[in-house]
Amino acid sequence: MFALFRRADLAEVIGSALAAKAAGAGARVIAGRLGRPVETVRGWLRRFASRAEGIRRFFTVLLVDAGVDPAVPGPSRTLFADAVNAVVGAWWSVASRWPNVGKVSPWAVACAASGGILLAPSWPLETINTNRL
């Protein structure tokens, strides 16, 4: 899966915008770099920010469950950056177990893990159980 539900851009394009925001860039700068409308980029950033805690939890659980020797990322300066780091960390853990996964971007893995609905209104589910047995 390489595209998110109801999004015209590939997961890598949206993911690069999310990573740039986590690094401190603003919507206008990101939109300029990507050649996308500011409102489109702002929409991606707002949707991700509105569910950053759920995304962080979901991908941290994936990181721990899939990793051979998982290393959970430490806290960042923002919850948004924590969520982006969890996505990248989950990709790293999945790729450590299944090396061919490392040939795709972290955002393609995030797209697949979320069923393509990473930025859809119905995800992440509020009932995600983050407790380990």
User: Is 34 or 4 the better-scoring residue by pLDDT?
Assistant: 34
In this structure, are residues 80 and 56 in contact, taking their beta carbons and an 8 Å threshold?
no
pLDDT at site 104? 83
Contacts of 112 (CB under 8 A, 6+ apart): 1
* Segment 43-85, tens digit of pLDDT: 999 999 999 999 999 999 999 988 777 777 888 899 999 999 9
Q: How far is the CA of 92 from the CAs of 22, 70, 78, 86, in angstroms?
A: 18, 9, 21, 10
